[in-house]
Amino acid sequence: MPSDNLAKQAPAFRAALIDWYDQNARDLPWRSAPSTYGTVVSEFMLQQTQVKTVLPYFDAWLKKYPNFKQLATASEEQVLKSWEGLGYYSRARNLHKLAKEVSEIPESELPTDSKSWLKFPGVGPYAAAAICSISFDDPSAVVDGNVVRILSRITADESDYKNSTDAAKSYRDLVQELLNPERPGDHNQAMMELGATVCHKQSPNCLLCPVREFCKGYAEGIAEEVPKLAKTKFEDKSVNRAWIQDGKRVLLHKIPDSAKRMKGLHELPELLPLKLATPKAKPLAKRKRSITRYRITENIYKFSPAKLPQQLPTDYLWVEHSKLGELPFSGPHRRWITELLDD
């Protein structure tokens, strides 16, 4: 890997990149009036989520929770409700916990280095480097999916990677050498901006690229073929759920804190915990969706409340139709309930 050559050209690379960024940076709300809080919120929301999706959530979030203290005093249900539809809901819970921890720290004692920020919930190597470089000029380079893509192309790295984590590790040293020590936050954002707007996964716009002259992948015509990341295999899975109405109420399951995922969200109950047998009749609704490596078929069956056990298990609740809007759901559950209520 020609990283030695690239490292020697680091000053020229940095200059070309930052000049381009100064001219072409998108006007994003978390850039217009930067604060540590706004930076933290944006970095949590942007994990595995595209800018366009985040925009409306970010604005609403800052209006509702303008600072760490206000977020810290909100209820978890409110916080999850505000996150509804963004996905990866543990991010919201972790951001809430982080706000509670940060609120207890006098502002002058808030850490400004990425190693310290790693201790906060929901903050991994990427977020720690992003937050500290942007907010405190800490010289920590980020390695996200964009950076991996850019550097694999610039170095014409045709290695086969099992996953993005392994690829990120292989660029840790190079990306740190390239970092602009004068403006680490802008440099990091410039790399990600370049990946998001020019160095696309498919059909990279090399003719507009400010660092094309450093790009071995471009010179060799293989930019589009790297990085080589193993493809994930999908697994089919089906889940059976119950739609049970009793007058103007519908039965829901609140996912407990002891669960592995989607804690605190509500969902249409699965059949097994309610001792409901899978009907032979056609389901009321059939929905397909993909989550990570699963293709899930959700079968939603209609039951009469009379079929339920005498005593409902814990965490199951009847909710008035008029109150459904107040509870947090994941996007799909929110959609299904809306669709089924219209029937």
* Contacting positions for DNA (CB under 7 A): 28, 42-43, 46-53, 85-90, 94, 121-128, 130, 144-146, 149, 162-165, 189, 192-193, 195-196, 201-202, 231, 260-262, 289-294, 330-334
Nearer residue to DNA within complex by CB, 284 or 296: 296
Task: Using DSSP bridges, classify how beta strands 285-291 and 294-303 pair: parallel, antiparallel or unpaired.
Answer: antiparallel
Rounded to 10°, the helix 10-24/184-197 angle is 70
Question: CB 305 → DNA: shortest distance, Å?
Answer: 26
Q: Which three-class secondary structure state does DSSP give residue 295? A: strand
Question: CB 311 → DNA: shortest distance, Å?
Answer: 28
Question: CB 310 → DNA: shortest distance, Å?
Answer: 31
Task: Using DSSP bridges, classify how beta strands 285-291 and 266-267 pair: parallel, antiparallel or unpaired.
Answer: unpaired
Question: CB 82 → DNA: shortest distance, Å?
Answer: 14
Nearer residue to DNA within complex by CB, 201 or 286: 201
Phi and psi at residue 49, to the nearest 5°: -140, 135
Nearer residue to DNA within complex by CB, 73 or 163: 163
CA nearest to 40, candidates 136, 143, 127: 127
Question: CB 275 → DNA: shortest distance, Å?
Answer: 23
**Residues 123-147 as b or e (16 or more Cβ within 10 Å = b):** bebbbbbbbbbbbbebbbbbbbbbb
Nearer residue to DNA within complex by CB, 195 or 308: 195
Nearer residue to DNA within complex by CB, 258 or 322: 258
The CA distance from 88 to 204, in Å, is 28
Q: Going along 121-189, which residue ranges are E strands?
A: 160-161
43 flagged as catalytic: yes
Cα dihedral sign, 291-297-302-305:
negative
Q: Which of 43, 193, 267, 298 is catalytic?
A: 43
Question: CB 144 → DNA: shortest distance, Å?
Answer: 4
Would you state the structure tokens that stand for residue 171, as one six-digit string?
């660029």
Nearer residue to DNA within complex by CB, 169 or 307: 169
Question: CB 64 → DNA: shortest distance, Å?
Answer: 19
Residue 210: cis peptide before it, omega within 30 degrees of 0: no
Q: Which three-class secondary structure state does DSSP give residue 335? A: helix
- Angular region, 137: left φ>0, alpha ψ -120 to 50, beta rest: left
The CA distance from 37 to 110, in Å, is 12
Nearer residue to DNA within complex by CB, 6 or 128: 128
Q: Which residues contact 297 (CB under 8 A, 6 or more apart)?
A: 236, 237, 238, 239, 286, 287, 288
What are the C-alpha distances in Å from 42 to residues 37, 193, 339? 9, 14, 31
Task: Give the residue numbers marked as catalytic.
Answer: 43
